[in-house]
Amino acid sequence: MEFILISGRTMHQGETLHQKCSEEYMKACAICEMNPEDMKELGVKDGDVVRVKSEAGEVNVYVKPCEGLDRGIVFIPMGPWANAVVPAGTDSTGMPSFKGIKVRIEKADGRVLRGDELVRRYEFEG
């Protein structure tokens, strides 16, 4: 299914800011909040792993219901998981487009990587 992705700060993300290699940080930020109706259509329940894909790349995160989001919009807290799908380029402003990203989301079987595992992979990516 296609969605518009918004990333941003959350209380839990801010609290775990200085323990980024921990499971707590992963639980706070490796989540994708989604309207419950969209979750039903996608066939996923709270805590399932979904793969979020954009033109920049893809990442696995846990899905979580959120009534405050309209259908078609998802939210991932700021962090390496959201940033894995943020496109390159800054529209000549210096600012990447962290919000309003077109993504495709599907149910996944894979594992969700910890923050340090995710960024250390970049050392070997071409």
Partner 1 sequence: MSLRVKDVVCPFCGCLCDDIVVYVENDEIKEVENACKFGAHRFLAVKKHRIKAPMVREGQEFKEVSYDEAIKRAVEILTKAKKPLLYGFSSTSCEVHEVAIELAELLGAVIDNTASVCHGPSVLAVQEVGYPSVTLGEVKNRADLVIYWACNPMHAHPRHMSRYSLFPRGMFTDKGKLERFLVVVDVRRTETAEIADLFVKVKPGYDFEVLNALRTILNKGDIPHEEIGGVKKETLMELAERMKNCQFGILFFGVGLTMSRGKHRNIAEAIKLVRDLNRYTKFSIMAMRGHYNVTGFNEVSSWETGYPFAVDFTRGYPWYNPGETDANSLLQSKDVDAVLVIASDPAAHFPRESVRYLAKIPLIVIDPFESLTSRIADIVIPSKVVGIEAEGSAYRMDAVPLRLKKVIEAKGLLSDLEIMERILEGVKRKLSSKSEIAVKM
Q: How far is the CB of 21 from partner 1 (least distance, A)?
A: 6
Kindly list the distances between the CA atom of residue 79 and the CA atoms of 26, 35, 55, in Å, as whole numbers in the listed order: 9, 21, 18
Contact (Cβ atoms closer than 8 angstroms) between residue 5 and residue 38: no
Contact (Cβ atoms closer than 8 angstroms) between residue 103 and residue 58: no
Q: How far is the CB of 100 from partner 1 (least distance, A)?
A: 5
Q: How far is the CB of 121 from partner 1 (least distance, A)?
A: 9
Contact (Cβ atoms closer than 8 angstroms) between residue 64 and residue 47: yes
Q: How far is the CB of 113 from partner 1 (least distance, A)?
A: 12
Q: Count CB-CB contacts under 10 A for residue 124.
A: 6
Q: Is 123 in the site for partner 1 (CB under 8 A)?
A: yes
* Nearer Cβ to partner 1 (43/88): 88
Binding to partner 1 in span 59-98, by CB under 8 A: 66-70, 73, 75, 78-80, 83-98
- Specify the stretch interacting with partner 1 by CB under 8 A; choose among 44-52, 103-111, 112-120: 112-120
Q: Where are the alpha helices (DSSP H) in 1-126?
A: 11-15, 23-29, 36-42, 80-83, 115-121
Applying CB under 8 A, which residues contact partner 1? 4, 6, 8-11, 14-15, 18-22, 56-57, 66-70, 73, 75, 78-80, 83-100, 115-116, 119-120, 122-123, 125
